[in-house]
Chains A and B, each alone.
Chain A
Amino acid sequence: MAACGRHAPSYPVPPQFESSLGLDPGELRPAVQMDDADADRYIVRDISPEPLALRWAFLHPELRLQVENAEHLKFYMEFVVPDVTFRETGPVVVSCSINGKLLGSVRCPHPGRYRFEKPVPPGLVKERVPVTVSANAEPRYVAKADKAQLSFLLAGAGFIQ
């Protein structure tokens, strides 16, 4: 039992709430792996739809991502240049763009797994605004049967801090 006067007393600062509580429905994460259950939500175009850990990237593979905090960001992309295409194309140069602006490229002189990682210039990515990331491989494998162009096998991509 506590009687109270007309005015409340003053109070100290309460414990501060940790605001990064994950996503609201419909929101995008800053990174995606191709075997994520919701990976299809991140694909804009030219990435094969099979729910596998490695998916074929075709002519202009493009993803969309979103970050909570845009400070000190690095972009990464993990991919595989398979034997089957390397035999035809030889060394491949894979370049990555963010919102259409070239971020950088990596040369792949032999078949195998690669990781592209590079700091993102300030201002290129905005907080909580969807951002498109795209890749371009030169040269690409062209299938003889249907003329389909295969760039590489994509494992995942995203932003880290």
Chain B
Amino acid sequence: MQEILHILEGALFTVAVCAAAGKLILARLRLEFHRLEAMLVAFVAGAACTSFATFFLCVTHQARKGFFLWPGLLLIIWALRAPALRRSAVPWKPIPRAWKLLFLVVFTSFFIIYFLNALAPEISPDGSGYHLGNVARFWKFHGFAWDYHNMYSYLSQGMEMLFLIAFSFGKHSSAALVHFAFQTTLPLLIVCYGLRFGYPRVGVFAAVLIYAAPVIGLDGSSAYNDLTVATVIFAVFYLLQVWDEERNPNLLILIGLLSGFAFAVKYTAVLTLPFAAGYVLWRLKKDSLRPLVMVTAPALLLIFPWLLRNWIWLGNPAAPFLNSWFPNPYYHPGMEQIYLQNLKYYGVQHGWEIPVQLAVRGGLVGGFLGPVFLLAPLALLALRQSQGRRLLLAAAIFAIPAAMNSGSRFLIPALPFLALSMGLACANSSGVLAVLAIFHAYLCWPAHAAWYCDDWAWRISSVPVQAALRKVPETEFIENHQTDYKLKTLIEHTVPPDGKIFSFAGRPEAYFDRTIVTSYESTLGNRANDALLTPVSDPAPTHRTRFRFLPLRTRRVRVVETASASPFWTVTEMRVFSNGTQLPRESNWRLSAWPNGWEVQLAFDNNYATRWSTWQAMEPHMYIAVDFGSVKTIDAVLLEGVAESQAHLQVEVFAHGDWVPITDTAEESDVRAPSGLRRAATLELKQLGIDYLWVNDSDYASEDMKKYSNSWGITLLGESNGTRFYRID
């Protein structure tokens, strides 16, 4: 019981602080709203400010409970004592009684299910993975961990800032409940929209469609951020419509603030600010910069801290993206490309399967929206009305990020607009809206969704009352849903606090108080992954490209790529010869390369399990170079590695202030793979500070590691449900 109280305390406190901060902002801006919409807008606006303040606590490493509690309490008291907000005089069209009843029944029923799921221990993949993994790390270090490098820690983390406050009281479930608060806010805001703009039935219809959608149900009751993004974006749209009617310039400040917060919560909301600014410019129809500044300035205030953090920390403001524009040693451009390509992949055979997957099946797209969304094309009928055109424009714009990610949850920000448009399109057909809303709620009820969706579709499939009330121990519940959790005790007893564990696959790191280096999440992970796969990969690094030329004296030599092709150019070892003998690598040599010069030493370490790679598609002028420190006589250069037929290389030497091409004629040959590659790979990991391996049976190297653990130099410490945990000896 004590545990539940802490969980609820953390979530309620965070929501209360947000609401209080929002109330003070609305009061300061002298904005007028109806009671319900004032509460909702205040919560969202206050969340933006609370998140912003927490960011600075994280920068200064003062993210401590006391810094949340006391200023938060003062803020709540201040807001309670502040005069009531001004009430809007614009009349609301009342909701018909039957529609009110429909909404209350659907909303209450799903609310209970979502609340119990959010209250239960967090088991969602991303929630227990990086969202709360980051939060747990912030909590451990009282702020940002600057020496921890992982692509997910570079994303904007506006929502994680709110999670952190809740987490400091009630840990993981508290954070999930904060997201649940946004999930609850969104349908209410949609209802308010309908009321304010004269479409109460449409508002209720859209709210039901949104709230009952299975992907929204599970996403919103997990420690994700999609419902926050959707709520904030919808609030921006809502306020733009209010501004359009009232022309209160102070609304623009609020719109800007929320536009910035949308980006701070998730990069995919980057279009919110251009949308808002564009809308304002369009509606003003005059050349005045002032309204634009009123929107843009507060937005940038919330956006810049995240960009600036990444720029200073990583050298890439947009990290973990745009790495080829902002090269850095922390994330490879090629890995970024592979990652983004994987996100786009649907796994369907025909294009028509995509709408069916998104609306009905859900197995290949990480959840589904509900079969009624198959009627989404009806929304085009809303183009007949001005409000419909605006809604559809917003739906189209905020659906753009979904083109880059096949996950159905990336459509969530566009869904409120789509649902409202569908409602508007059918508004004149009496009874259709009600039938569709009831039908949707009925089909999306967790027990009913199982009739038609894929078995493995991401959705709420149970109401874990016992786990939510902690009558089932948290450990038992997590173990049943996150089998990795079974190794928690072993790992935390075996691995020292500063130890690193390598894993090919992502893990629920929020529950492990150790650093897990995942193969695709950092350059460190890429290097470890490369080393471990080299001994079991085909082709092996057995190809030799030798360039012979007449003896010449030079201080610098380089090999330059002259071809353009999609594969990466890689070099396992580069050796320079004189008179048939390899020049010994001397301490005064200087090695360089472009791109990815940070890893050039991997081509000069005599280790066949490591390699320098461009980590981006081959392009002319890429090079790998040696400065001998003094003039040497050389007559051959040898590159060893994996054969790449599309590469075309030439050797150049530095003479008279310029690089002079010497030869592009190469002798190609193959040799046997060197011995001991497995051990070379694991020793490389040790060199990188990684002493443990966590391997799934489905991982590429798993069988080989199981069979030849002696050759790898690894010892099995434990195994559970198809995963094995090894120590590197």
In contact, B591 and A12 (Cβ under 8 angstroms): yes
The 0/1 profile, CB within 8 Å of B marked 1, for residues 3-23 of chain A is: 111111111111111011111
The distance from the CB of B671 to the nearest CB of chain A, in whole angstroms, is 8
Give Cα A73 to B350, complex, Å.
Answer: 64
A15 to chain B: closest residue by CB: B605
Q: Does B499 sit within 8 A of A, measured CB to CB?
A: no
Are B708 and A25 neighbours in the complex by a CB distance under 8 Å?
yes
| A128–B674 alpha-carbon span in the complex (Å) | 9
- On whether A128 and B591 interact (CB within 8 A), knowing A17-B606, A24-B711, the answer reads no
Q: Is the CB of B675 within 8 A of A24?
A: yes
Q: Are A24 and B676 in contact (CB under 8 A)?
A: yes
B578 at interface (Cβ–Cβ under 8 A)? Answer: no
Could you tell me the distance in whole angstroms from the C-beta of A15 to the nearest C-beta in chain B? 7
Q: Is A88 an interface residue (CB 8 A)?
A: no
Q: Indicate whether A21 sits within 8 Å of B590 (C-beta atoms), given known contacts A1-B313, A6-B326, A68-B675.
A: no
B452 in the interface, Cβ–Cβ < 8 Å?
no
Given contacts A13-B591, A19-B674, whether A8 and B598 have CB atoms under 8 Å apart is yes
Which of these binds chain A: B22-30, B335-343, B678-686?
A: B678-686
Q: Answer yes or no: A27 CB below 8 A from chain B CBs.
A: yes
- Kindly report which residue of chain A lies nearest to residue B535, judged by CB atoms: A24
Total number of residue pairs linking A and B with CB closer than 8 Å: 102
Q: Which residues of A contact B707 (CB under 8 A)?
A: 25
Q: State A75–B719 Cα separation when bound (angstroms).
A: 45
The answer to whether B604 has its CB under 8 Å from any CB of chain A is yes
Q: In the bound complex, what is the Cα–Cα distance between A22 and B678 (angstroms)?
A: 10
Within 8 A of A (CB), among B624-680: 627, 672-680
List chain B residues, Cβ under 8 A from A27: 675
Judged by a CB distance under 8 angstroms, whether B607 is at the interface is yes
Nearest chain A CB to B540 CB, angstrom units: 10
> With a CB–CB cut-off of 8 A, which chain B residues contact A14?
601, 604-605
The verdict on B592 contacting chain A, using a C-beta distance below 8 Å, is yes
Query: What residues of B have a CB within 8 angstroms of the CB of A11 in the complex?
Result: 590-592, 597, 600-601
Please tell me which one of the listed residues B313, B591, B598, B678 contacts residue A24 in the complex, with CB atoms under 8 A apart. Answer: B678
What are the residues of chain B within 8 A of A8 when measuring CB–CB? 327, 329, 592-594, 596-598, 600
Contacts of A19 on B, CB cut-off 8 Å? 606-608, 674-676, 680
Whether the pair A17, B328 counts as a contact (CB closer than 8 A) is: no
CB distance from B223 to the nearest CB of A (A): 27
Give the interface residue-count category, chain A.
Answer: 20 to 34
Do the beta carbons of A13 and B311 come within 8 Å of each other? no
Whether a CB of chain A sits under 8 angstroms from the CB of B312 is yes
Give Cα A7–Cα B598 distance, bound, in whole angstroms.
9
Q: For chain B, residues 592 to 621, give those with C-beta under 8 angstroms from any C-beta of chain A.
A: 592-594, 596-598, 600-601, 604-608
Decide: A17 and B607 in contact? CB cutoff 8 A: yes
> Which stretch in B107-115, B363-371, B581-589, B721-729 binds the other chain?
B581-589
Partner of B315, one of A5, A25, A128: A5
Q: Does B425 belong to the interface (CB within 8 Å)?
A: no
The minimal Cβ–Cβ distance linking B92 to chain A, given in whole angstroms, is 51
> Contacts A1-B313, A19-B608, A24-B535; is A12 near B590 (CB within 8 Å)?
yes
A68 to B588, CA, bound (A): 30
- A6, B314: Cα distance in complex, Å: 11
Quick check: is B70 within 8 A (CB to CB) of the other chain? no
Query: CA A24 – CA B679 in complex, angstroms?
Result: 9
Q: A1-B312, A3-B314, A19-B606 are in contact. List 18 more A-B contacts (CB 8 A).
A: A3-B311, A4-B315, A4-B329, A8-B592, A8-B594, A8-B598, A10-B590, A10-B600, A10-B627, A11-B590, A11-B591, A12-B589, A12-B591, A13-B601, A17-B606, A20-B676, A22-B679, A128-B675
Can you spell out 29 A-B residue pairs with CB atoms less than 8 angstroms apart? A1-B146, A1-B312, A1-B313, A4-B314, A4-B327, A7-B594, A8-B329, A8-B593, A8-B597, A9-B592, A10-B597, A10-B600, A10-B627, A11-B590, A11-B600, A11-B601, A12-B587, A12-B591, A13-B587, A13-B589, A15-B605, A16-B606, A17-B680, A19-B606, A21-B675, A22-B675, A22-B711, A24-B535, A27-B675
